[in-house]
Amino acid sequence: MEQGGHAPVAQAVPRPEYPRPQFVRDRWLNLNGVWSFGFGATEAADASAPTAWILDRDILVPFAPESERSGIGSTTFHPAVRYQRTIEIPADWADDRLLLHFGAVDFDTTVWVDDVEVGRHRGGFTPFTIDITDAVAAAAGASFTLSVLAEDDHLTIQARGKQSRRPENYEAFYTRTTGIWQTVWLEPVSPAHFGRPVIRPDLPSSSFAVELDVVSPAAGLTARVDISDADGLVVSREVEVTAQVKPVLTLPIETDRLRTWSPEDPHLYSVRFTLLRGETVVDVLDSYAGMRSIAIDGRRVLLNGRPVFQRLVLDQGYWPDTLMTAPSDDALVADIELGMAAGFNGARLHQKVFEERYLFHADRLGYLVWGEFADWGAKVGPGGPQEPTLSFVTEWVEALTRDVSHPSIVGWCPLNETFQPMTDRLTVLDDATKALYAVTKAIDPTRPVIDASGYSHRVPGADIYDSHLYEQDPDVFAQRMGGLADGRPYVNTALDGTEWSVPYAGQPYFCSEFGGIWWSDSDRTGDDSWGYGEAPRTRDEWIDRFRRLVDTLLDDAGMFGYCFTQLTDVFQEKNGVLDFRRVPKFDLRLLRDIQSRPAAYELDDVPPLDP
């Protein structure tokens, strides 16, 4: 669709819920809603005086201009987009610092308060925050003009996930997202306030380690952390705040108050952070935490000391009318609950950094997830090498920093299906893969990490080894997957047998993509509909294929999990258990029954596998 078209539908503020549910303050201002908007190449955006921009239409934030819900629905290429609105500051915020938060803006973002540039950010999937206090203080009155420029070149190397680099959707690539696509909000804080704490459970010692981040610490400040459950206060600790270090507090949980987090019982403790100057409260954050452990024992991945087979589904987080932005908070919950209804106990969050509220719901519902990155976009050109740039590392670090405290996340995966032949020389892909793996382990040593999901494993002895196999013949699938017990698992290679990966080293292994079984009631031509291989002729045939593929993996005592492709259809890709509008295509109870029998990996009489 070309530029122009629709006017935003008048409605209440879209996506009104608090956008950072793991660290909550009472006061905030949601800036979603109707903004002035304009398309324009970079040179047309006069950076010296954005208040003079002529913006010819409105847009409904936080929906991208390519989406129908935005009121625009223009899916052509947009090298630059511009936003503007007037913000009125609540009167009782006069003595506070003002933090401007963006959930995600794709891709290079510049922000102005009136005509003063206040910040820039690179990366389309991670949040950023700008302290705009000084710029606002220089403005007259209690309002200011907020202007945003987002530049997004579809030809350059950048993390873009599944966004199509062609004008049209094709294969597994979908409609682009440009500009703002998550909530924008304003938050008042005191000059000294908490940044984002890190909460790490340590089940062997029955304690939480809490790393505090205090912005503008000063003499006389004390930080207190209180952990509570339904029966009241469990433990409290205080520490003096200094400018030299980030305090780390250990909060032990007594045995009679210890309750672990698991899919069967996703128990969450309440956590309150209080910053004090004497008896005066300076800042308060309300949070939560789950007590659980993730450990590797030989070829096993253990949750709370026991093998839990990971029955995962691939979730790409797209919606028909809103693209990468969930249309509502309820839509996030529905995707998790529908996955669970089909018998999945978790998901790979695929080629996208999902918003924080999704992880909040996964935490409280007991849904196991792998935190991943939108790394596709690293190829130099068609058929060229994959050369992730430093911005991939920077944005991945931002994702890790945001999400490290969520108990539902059981592993990290910074890269997916990178592929280059193994040669006698190290390449940019080798360097980037090792850098992303190393930085992940440095930031979070408590979870397993896959260096790259499927295809080019480049870190010898990485925590996890995996493969992708979309073979549709269940007998052939079983034959190819059958060597794990002998230490010869299926390994992805080029079609001609050229090796892509370092050898398997005996670590935990799972089939992290399989299935993709094509089914569509309406589109069966292959032009606007596709799945992997030949489509089943009937629903019964689809169910039989699903059952036999799943049985192969459930019956393998060395396999710690799988990930079935996929939860929903996405545009032309018709291989979900739900259609694009989340209507089940099959009886979800039947899929649940197929998956819910004990896996060989989970049986008590299966001896531990030697590394």
Q: What is the pLDDT of residues 48-84, one digit of tens each?
A: 789 999 999 999 999 999 999 999 999 999 999 999 9
CATH of the domain at 223: 2.60.40.10
Co-location of 202 and 179 in the same domain: no
Chain segment 102-116, per-residue pLDDT in tens:
999 999 999 999 999
Domain carrying residue 122: 29-189
Task: Look at residue 67 in the predicted model and tell me its pLDDT.
Answer: 98
pLDDT for res 5: 45
Q: At what angle do helices 539-554 and 588-596 cross, to 10 degrees?
A: 20
User: Which residues 6+ apart lie within 8 Å of 114 measured at CB?
Assistant: 51, 135, 139, 144, 145
Residues 35 and 167 placed together within one structural domain of the fold: yes
Strand ordering across the sheet containing 184-189: 29-30, 184-189, 97-102, 128-131
Residues 311-360 pLDDT 10s: 999 999 999 999 999 999 999 999 999 999 999 999 999 999 999 999 99
- C-alpha span between 283 and 26 (Å, rounded): 10
CATH number for the domain spanning 323: value is: 3.20.20.80
12 within domain boundaries: no
Domain-terminating residue out of 223, 258, 289: 289
Domain-ending residue, one of 289, 320, 337: 289
Question: Is 42:151 a contact under the CB 8 Å cutoff?
Answer: yes
Residue 4 lies in a domain: no
In 3D space, the residue among 553, 581, 547 whose CA is nearest the CA of residue 567 turns out to be 581
Residue 11 lies in a domain: no
Residues 6+ away with beta carbon under 8 Å from 24: 18, 285, 286, 287
The answer to whether residues 56 and 203 belong to one domain is: no
**In this structure, is the dihedral angle defined by the CA atoms of residues 496, 497, 502 and 506, taken in order, positive or negative?**
positive
Least confident range from 79-88, 113-122, 518-527: namely 518-527
Task: State whether 264 and 331 are in the same domain.
Answer: no
The mean of the pLDDT values for the chain is 93
Answer whether residue 539 is part of any domain.
yes
Mean pLDDT of 406-413: 99
Residue 15 inside a domain? The answer is no
Query: Model confidence over 267-317: pLDDT tens digits?
Result: 999 999 999 999 999 999 999 999 999 999 999 999 999 999 999 999 999
Q: Is residue 609 part of a domain?
A: no
448 with 526, same domain: the answer is yes
**400 and 465 housed in the same domain:** yes
Number of domains, the chain: 3
Whether residues 233 and 176 share a domain: the answer is no
In degrees to the nearest 10, what's the CA dihedral of 465, 519, 375, 19?
A: -110
Within a domain: residue 226? yes
User: Does residue 208 share a domain with residue 158?
Assistant: no
DSSP-derived letter for residue 243 is: S
Q: Same domain for 312 and 461?
A: yes
Question: 341 and 390 share a domain?
Answer: yes
Q: How confident is the model at residue 486 (pLDDT cuts 50, 70, 90)?
A: confident
215, 252: one domain? yes
In a domain, 14, yes or no: no
- Angstrom CA distances, 509 to 385, 432, 450, 539, 559, stand at 27, 22, 10, 31, 6
Q: Provide the pLDDT confidence category of residue 522 given band limits of 50, 70 and 90.
A: confident
> Which residue among 189, 219, 235 closes a domain?
189
Q: Are residues 359 and 462 in the same domain?
A: yes
- At 184, which CATH number? 2.60.120.260
